[in-house]
């Protein structure tokens, strides 16, 4: 049967959370930048990190109307990769959407907050999202890929391509651009599929948060082959 691309269901979150109980610590679907903000060394830490991460993902899945959450399953039916595409028919607004990605100050009192560098996580995602107004057209329909992660042991098998191709097909169907922010390792994959870098790399200095590294992202866009649809063009007439 091979790999299958399917819609993610709410029941999948429990199955994905269970990965921390059956696979090696860290061989899970925790997406960036969480691994940078929450390094781990034990199975117990991996279990807690995955649970917290999936609770956050599940909350957005159930409450955010823009979301299109997809999964890739293997022959056994196990979820090996997931992606979150978002459709904004009236354009992306940082002011309206920024709260989904960051953790509120109240989270600092949680027992797991001692392991999770929440200020760092909020800095990376907040900076990424706030910068969109400088390179994504205002009030224009668009697709945005905000989350794509594959279990480390399952990488290199084409799962990411399936998830990205779905978004490209939607962009072509809607005649609207598709946008994403790519890590250094992921950028070549997106380029092969028609995405192009927009402007300079986004480089975030993480040293003020106790991490001796720079977090680098490439701003990337895919433009539909027929060009963008006019804002006043009725899609029913296409």
- 140: domain CATH number is 3.40.630.30
Paired tokens of 111 = 């027992």
Q: Give the phi and the psi of residue 79 in degrees, each rounded to 5.
A: -75, 120
CA-closest candidate to residue 145, choices 166, 121, 175: 166
pLDDT mean over 4-30? 98
Confidence of residue 19 (pLDDT cuts 50, 70, 90): very high
**Domain boundaries, position 134:** 4-237
Confidence of residue 62 (pLDDT cuts 50, 70, 90): very high
The whole-angstrom separation of Cα 190 and Cα 195 is 5
Could you give the number of structural domains in the chain?
1
Query: Within a 13 Å sphere around the CA of 76, how many CA atoms are in the beta-carbon half?
Result: 4
237 or 205, which is more confident?
Answer: 205
This model's pTM is above 0.85: yes
**Residue 121 vs residues 1, 32, 58, 88: alpha-carbon distances, Å:** 38, 9, 18, 24
pLDDT more than 70, % of the chain: 95
The whole-angstrom separation of Cα 5 and Cα 170 is 15
Burial 42-80 (b: 16+ CB within 10 A, else e): eeebbbbbbebbbebbbebbeeeebbbbbbbbbeeebbb
């Amino acid at each position: 049967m091979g790999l299958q691309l399917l819609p993610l269901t709410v029941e999948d979150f429990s199955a994905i959370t269970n990965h921390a109980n059956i696979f090696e610590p860290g061989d899970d679907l925790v997406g960036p930048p969480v691994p940078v903000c929450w390094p781990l060394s034990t199975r117990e830490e991996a279990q807690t990190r995955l649970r917290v991460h999936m609770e956050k993902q599940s909350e957005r899945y159930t409450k955010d109307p823009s979301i299109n959450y997809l999964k890739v399953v293997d022959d056994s039916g196990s979820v090996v990769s997931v992606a979150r595409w978002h459709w904004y028919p009236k354009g992306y607004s940082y002011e309206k959407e920024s709260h989904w990605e960051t953790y509120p100050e109240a989270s600092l009192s949680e027992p797991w907050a001692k392991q999770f560098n929440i200020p760092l996580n909020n800095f990376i995602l907040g900076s990424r999202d706030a910068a969109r107004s400088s390179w994504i057209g205002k009030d224009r329909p668009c697709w945005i890929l905000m989350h794509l992660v594959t279990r480390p042991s399952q990488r290199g098998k084409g799962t990411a391509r399936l998830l990205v191709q779905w978004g490209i097909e939607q962009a072509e169907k809607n005649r609207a651009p598709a946008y994403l922010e790519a890590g250094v390792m992921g950028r070549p994959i997106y380029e092969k599929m028609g995405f192009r870098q927009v402007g300079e790399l986004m480089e975030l200095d993480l040293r003020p948060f106790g991490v001796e590294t720079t977090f680098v992202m490439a701003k990337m866009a895919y433009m539909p082959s027929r060009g963008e649809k006019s804002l006043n063009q009725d899609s029913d007439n296409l």
